[in-house]
Amino acid sequence: MKNRTCTRREMLRQGGAALFLPALLPGEAAMASPQEGKSTKGKSLAGAAGTVALAPDLVVNRMGFGAMRILGVQEWGPPPDVAGAKKLLRRALDLGVDFIDTADAYGPNVSEELIADALYPYPAGLVIGTKGGIVRPSPPEWVADSSPKHLREACHGSLRRLRLDRIDLYQLHAVDDDVPLADSIGELAKLQREGKIRYIGVSNVTAGELALARSMVNVVSVQNRYNVVTRGSEELLGVCEREGIVFIPHTPLARRAQATGTHKEKTDALLRVAQQRGISTAQAALAWLLTKSPAMLPIPGTSSIGHLEENVAAAALRLTPQEMASIG
Ligand SMILES: NC(=O)c1ccc[n+]([C@@H]2O[C@H](COP(=O)([O-])OP(=O)(O)OC[C@H]3O[C@@H](n4cnc5c(N)ncnc54)[C@H](OP(=O)(O)O)[C@@H]3O)[C@@H](O)[C@H]2O)c1
């Protein structure tokens, strides 16, 4: 295990008049499965956002859940209320969430273990996307290790903890500056050929890194930080839209900017939209993402069932062109 911090990837550390629309918007047709009509997907609360196709045979509701917040302080160790965390995971499924994002680094291991404890045997149609490529020497450290050896061990560990024979979506958590990206992707390709990974995604990448990965394997998703105040991945989002790749915006709620008063112009605009509609700013932030692009699959994270319900309810919201313009 390497003992250095992820300097290159600051994004790694963090870690009223509602407009109700049908489950599938016209612009979303390209992202939906041809089998959409036969599926129950798109019909639940989370399905009010429509569906998005990671692959023709892997379609999920366009409002997922990020399982990084169901842990102890600093995303380390078990949460103070383990039973409550499991209840929250089950509630997410009740609300129609059928895509859960996790990683071996969350806990570490605890998030995956809680998901299996709460939800195994998994209901048909539930897609768990996990990630490998970051290790946690101590609570504040998130250290990239995307060496082939580590990725293989990490994937085997996730399979064991999640009690799966094959992981539906395995994402490279981060590019490791000490390892050629081609080596990391090459190992994921091997694991895919061995039947341990169904589809490959990438996270915290640049457009160039995505292009390199795509020259080697079929990349079905990109998970980068993206929210009303953090727009560094606009170019990548455009690539995803053009190429039919799902874009999973992590840290979608921009809570830190709201709490610290940074990017005040944007957060004030978001607050105005929320107040005019009588919704929360978290819901407005999610509605902004869902309206921004049909490729978007938000994964808000929370430790609170009340917040979970509020976030999933945002699946039914879309902003008007005027509201989008006001946020910019
Ligand atoms: N690939 C990566 O490198 C990476 C990095 C970061 C995150 N992620 C993934 O993305 C997911 C989402 O990111 P995130 O959890 O960092 O950020 P987020 O979803 O933008 O925000 C989560 C924070 O907002 C609070 N919150 C959630 N819903 C709320 C609501 N309705 N009202 C008020 N506060 C609310 C949560 O606290 P409470 O618990 O009190 O609700 C938590 O502190 C993670 O769970 C993880 O799966 C990936």
**pLDDT of res. 259:** 84
Task: Let me know: does 174 contact 6? Beta carbons within 8 Å.
Answer: yes
Is 40 touching ligand 1 by the criterion CB < 6 Å? no
Mean per-residue pLDDT, 89-97: 97
**Per-residue confidence at 84, pLDDT binned at 50, 70, 90?**
very high
Convert the pLDDT of each residue in 227-264 to its tens digit.
Answer: 999 999 999 999 999 999 999 999 999 998 888 888 99
Atom of ligand 1 nearest to the CA of 131: 1
Is 68 touching ligand 1 by the criterion CB < 6 Å? yes
Convert the pLDDT of each residue in 269-308 to its tens digit.
Answer: 999 999 999 999 999 999 999 999 999 999 999 999 999 9
Atom of ligand 1 nearest to the CA of 283: 31
**Per-residue confidence at 17, pLDDT binned at 50, 70, 90?**
very low
Q: How far is the CA of 51 from the centre of ligand 1 (A)?
A: 21
- Nearest residue (by CA) to ligand 1, atom 41, is 302
- Nearest residue (by CA) to ligand 1, atom 5, is 15
**pLDDT of res. 82:** 98
Task: Let me know: does 175 contact 205? Beta carbons within 8 Å.
Answer: yes
Is 84 touching ligand 1 by the criterion CB < 6 Å? no
Task: Kindly report the pTM of this predicted structure.
Answer: 0.90
Task: Let me know: does 65 contact 5? Beta carbons within 8 Å.
Answer: no
Please report which helix (H) or strand (E) contains residue 189, including its range: helix 181-193
- Nearest residue (by CA) to ligand 1, atom 47, is 66
Q: How far is the CA of 255 from the centre of ligand 1 (A)?
A: 8
Q: How far is the CA of 281 from the centre of ligand 1 (A)?
A: 13
Mean per-residue pLDDT, 115-134: 98
**pLDDT of res. 294:** 96
The crossing angle, in degrees rounded to 10, of helices 148-162 and 181-193 is 40
Nearest-angstrom CA–CA distance, 292 and 125 = 26
Nearest-angstrom CA–CA distance, 58 and 36 = 11
Phi, psi of 212 (to 5 degrees): -65, -45
**Which residues have CB under 8 Å from 91's CB, separation 6+?**
305, 308, 309
Convert the pLDDT of each residue in 42-70 to its tens digit.
Answer: 678 999 999 999 999 999 999 999 999 99
Atom of ligand 1 nearest to the CA of 303: 39
Is 249 touching ligand 1 by the criterion CB < 6 Å? no
**pLDDT of res. 261:** 83
- Mean pLDDT score of the chain, rounded to an integer? 89
Residue 190 has pLDDT above 80, yes or no: yes
For the record, the structure tokens of 182 come out as: 């081609």
Q: How far is the CA of 56 from the centre of ligand 1 (A)?
A: 28
Is 171 touching ligand 1 by the criterion CB < 6 Å? no
Catalogue the active-site residues: 106
Q: Which of 5-9, 14-18, 40-44, 76-80 ranks highest by mean pLDDT?
A: 76-80
Of 315, 232, 310, nearest in space to 47 by CA: 315
Output 32 or 313, whichever has higher pLDDT: 313
Q: How far is the CA of 180 from the centre of ligand 1 (A)?
A: 30
Mean per-residue pLDDT, 178-194: 98
**pLDDT of res. 143:** 98
Residue 11 has pLDDT above 60, yes or no: no
6 alpha carbon, distance to own chain's centre: 20
Residue 13 has pLDDT above 80, yes or no: no
Mean per-residue pLDDT, 139-156: 98
Ligand 1 pocket test, candidate residues 69, 141, 169, most atoms within 8 A of CB: 69
For the record, the structure tokens of 105 come out as: 């680094």
Q: Quick count: other Cβ atoms within 10 Å of Cβ 255?
A: 17
Nearest-angstrom CA–CA distance, 149 and 25 = 43
Mean per-residue pLDDT, 89-98: 98
**pLDDT of res. 189:** 98
Residue 27 has pLDDT above 60, yes or no: no
Is 299 touching ligand 1 by the criterion CB < 6 Å? yes
Mean per-residue pLDDT, 295-324: 98
Residue that has been written with the tokens 């979303």 in this structure: 28
**Domain ranges in the chain?**
31-251
Of 209, 207, 161, 204, nearest in space to 182 by CA: 209
Output 118 or 35, whichever has higher pLDDT: 118
**pLDDT of res. 41:** 67
Residue 14 has pLDDT above 60, yes or no: no
CATH 3.20.20.100 fits 31-251, yes or no: yes
